[in-house]
Amino acid sequence: MKLFQQLLVAPAALGLLAPVAAQAADFNVDAMAEYAPSSRKEQVTSITQFSDVYPTDWAYQALASLIERYGCVAGYPNGTFRGNRAMTRYEAAALLNACLDRITEVTDELRRLIKEFEKELAIIRGRVDGLEARVGELEATQFSTTTRLKGQADFFTGAIKYADRDECNDEGGDCNSDAFNFSYRLTLNLNTSFTGKDRLYTRLRTGNMSNQWTQTDSYLADAKSGDNTLKVDKLWYTFPIGSEFKATVGALIENYYMIETPTRYKPILKAFKLGGYGAVLGASTGQGFGLQWRQNVDPGEPALNIAANYVADGGDGAKGDSKEGMFGENTDAYFLSQIGYGNRQWHISALYALKNAGQREECLTDEAGLTSCSNVSGAKAAMGYSTPRAKDLGHPLNAVGLRGYWSPQDSGWIPSISAGIDFGFADSQFDGNSEAVKGWMVGLNWKDAFMKGNKLGVGVGSYSSYATSVKGQGWPDDENFAVEAYYDFRVTDNIVVTPAIFWVDDAYGQEQLPGQNKFGGLVKTTFKF
């Protein structure tokens, strides 16, 4: 019996003194003797042994506790309790004495146990003191009270094979990458909050992905060029404005982080990222800012969202020491906007992008060693994955896109479906410049495929945006195609192994050389910590 439970007996017993009559009847020794627990041949152990006590009585639970938990209340030999009868002071004294005896027994037992385990208690006390000291030291030297650090290490093992490497090289290509490769990428994400609603995001990354995994026609979604140098490649700050608006500003910011994610498909090839990575979406890391609005609705209900942002991407204008700055005439500027509606199960969105690339100097060196330079224009830096013909623009590109996804409520043979299509238009003035471009993709994901926690994915579409109209030429033969399949095998909650294969057909469009089509296979292993 617990000590603190026993200590509650005394107040409970004293509470029984309240109904004692101030002017009690004459003391009845026989009655008191009959009531005393010691006079009973058998101690009462259950309240049900009393014939005159009922569950509807107002003190039923209190009486049951004194009898069954503490064993210090008895009745009369005839099996009654006589709860409505006034208690004499002698009867109260007998009841209180019985309860105090129980407390004394427990107290003595507790003292004996304390003495018996005196050494063990001293050891525990010392360990607690040591733990408190270590906690104090940790608090004094902790990394941060506001920052959470998450890391991820990715290993890529696999190879690329050209359809006909020799033929490609005979035609003047560079198809010499039929090789097995083992690459890595390490990412550290630091999320800092100062108010609980804002976020300062810093990403540190390194790797050695400067191989076939970062080539134009086999660029992986997870790939990142690197030379084993750890550097900051993402840095921005997000904060709320009221209950529905969110603003973002940063020196190294990606535009698609400032919109609602328009797809649920997880790609292998970067060309399939975000429902297509060419006309509307593309390379854009740089200085920028954005504003998002999302309708307040009940959890699970569809909501309307609107977003707009501006990024001076990786061209000369985006550099911190650039004389052009973010809004210079020759700055590669990228305006992106989105309007969407849906929830986590389904969503549809429309996007518009203005990719404004100013004049830039390009220099070529001939076989004799002579270098010639000229000014060219076009939205090359922000085009993402596009054929050479699609990148040949004389003016900024206006692009529109549609994105949508749907996921079944339950895992099964029905997959989640993500799709996207892009159209781009440029007011080209010179023959040979592209006037219109296009790109599309469809991605399927099966959740809990073959085993709970695993995922199967299949994606098809154009590898990149391609020209559909060229000034002075009409409709060019510039279309391309890619297909991929992968399987996420979850070894543990923090380790995932992903075998994957893909095929890329005519990645360079009408400038494709014979033999340049690629087949690739890899195994990606992800460690999260």
Cα radius of gyration rounded to whole Å, the chain: 39
* In contact, 132 and 50? CB cutoff 8 Å: no
Instruction: Give first-to-last CA distance, the chain, whole Å.
Output: 46
What is the pLDDT confidence band of residue 328, given thresholds at 50, 70 and 90?
confident
* In contact, 471 and 505? CB cutoff 8 Å: no
Task: Tell me: do 432 and 358 sit in the same domain.
Answer: yes
Distance from C-alpha of 248 to C-alpha of 288, rounded to nearest angstrom: 8
Task: Tell me: do 114 and 168 sit in the same domain.
Answer: no
| pTM of the entire predicted model | 0.70
Asked if the model's pLDDT at residue 201 lies above 50, the reply is yes
When pLDDT is averaged across residues 34-61 and rounded to a whole number, the result is 70
How many other CB atoms sit within 10 Å of the CB of residue 352?
15
Task: Tell me: do 391 and 479 sit in the same domain.
Answer: yes
Does 378 fall in a domain? yes
Q: Phi/psi class of residue 461: alpha, beta or left (left: φ > 0; alpha: ψ in -120 to 50)?
A: left
Sign of the Cα pseudo-torsion (40, 46, 51, 54, in order): positive
Residue 446: which of 489, 416, 491, 488 has the closest Cα?
416
HSE-CB at 49 with a 13 A cutoff on CA atoms is 16
Q: Report the percentage of the chain scoring pLDDT > 90.
A: 40
Burial category of 13 from C-beta neighbours within 10 Å (exposed 0-12, middle 13-18, buried 19 and up): buried
Residue 516: which of 160, 162, 211, 161 has the closest Cα?
162
Q: What pLDDT was estimated at residue 331?
A: 74
Task: Tell me: do 449 and 512 sit in the same domain.
Answer: yes
Q: Could you report the per-residue pLDDT of 409-429, keeping only the tens digit for each? A: 887 889 999 999 999 998 877
Q: Of 118, 148, 176, which residue constitutes the final position of a domain?
A: 118
Task: Tell me: do 404 and 500 sit in the same domain.
Answer: yes
Distance from C-alpha of 289 to C-alpha of 116, rounded to nearest angstrom: 69
* In contact, 294 and 246? CB cutoff 8 Å: yes
Q: Of 68, 88, 118, which residue constitutes the final position of a domain?
A: 118
Task: Tell me: do 260 and 381 sit in the same domain.
Answer: yes
Does 198 fall in a domain? no
Listed as own residue / partner, the contacts of 87-93 with beta carbons closer than 8 Å and 24 or more positions apart are 87/16, 87/17, 87/19, 87/20, 87/21, 87/24, 88/20, 88/24, 88/25, 88/27, 88/28, 88/31, 88/32, 89/20, 89/24, 90/27, 90/32, 91/31, 91/32, 91/35, 92/16, 92/17, 92/20
Phi and psi at residue 377, in whole multiples of 5°? -130, 165
Written as one letter, the residue type at 346 is W
Asked if the model's pLDDT at residue 474 lies above 80, the reply is no
Q: Phi/psi class of residue 212: alpha, beta or left (left: φ > 0; alpha: ψ in -120 to 50)?
A: alpha
Across 171-175, 185-189, 224-228, the highest mean pLDDT is recorded for 185-189
Does 385 fall in a domain? yes
Does 222 fall in a domain? no
Does 173 fall in a domain? yes
Residue 357: which of 320, 401, 313 has the closest Cα?
313
How many domains is the chain built from? 2
The CA–CA distances, whole Å, from 457 to 265, 272, 448 equal: 8, 12, 11
Q: What is the span of the domain harbouring residue 262? A: 158-187+238-528
Q: What pLDDT was estimated at residue 136?
A: 78
Does 129 fall in a domain? no
Listed as own residue / partner, the contacts of 473-481 with beta carbons closer than 8 Å and 24 or more positions apart are 473/431, 473/432, 476/389, 476/509, 476/510, 477/509, 477/510, 478/387, 478/389, 478/390, 478/509, 478/510, 479/506, 479/509, 480/387, 480/504, 480/505, 480/506, 480/507, 480/508, 480/509, 480/512, 481/505, 481/506
Distance from C-alpha of 506 to C-alpha of 512, rounded to nearest angstrom: 6
Does 132 fall in a domain? no
Q: Could you report the per-residue pLDDT of 223-240, keeping only the tens digit for each? A: 876 788 889 989 999 999
What is the pLDDT confidence band of residue 44, given thresholds at 50, 70 and 90?
confident
HSE-CB at 63 with a 13 A cutoff on CA atoms is 21
What's the CATH code of the domain at 469?
A: 2.40.160
Task: Tell me: do 77 and 181 sit in the same domain.
Answer: no
Task: Tell me: do 106 and 178 sit in the same domain.
Answer: no
* Listed range (72-81, 265-274, 281-290) with the worst mean pLDDT: 72-81
More confidently predicted of 94 and 238: 238
Task: Tell me: do 100 and 178 sit in the same domain.
Answer: no
More confidently predicted of 367 and 508: 508
Q: What pLDDT was estimated at residue 215?
A: 82
Asked if the model's pLDDT at residue 369 lies above 90, the reply is no
Question: Chain-centre distance of CA 211, in angstroms?
Answer: 29
Write down the mean pLDDT value for the chain.
82
* In contact, 441 and 458? CB cutoff 8 Å: no
Does 143 fall in a domain? no
Q: Of 118, 144, 168, which residue constitutes the final position of a domain?
A: 118
Task: Tell me: do 274 and 415 sit in the same domain.
Answer: yes
Task: Tell me: do 244 and 367 sit in the same domain.
Answer: yes
When pLDDT is averaged across residues 141-146 and rounded to a whole number, the result is 72
Residues paired with residue 417 on neighbouring β-strands, in sequence order? 406, 444
Task: Tell me: do 72 and 169 sit in the same domain.
Answer: no
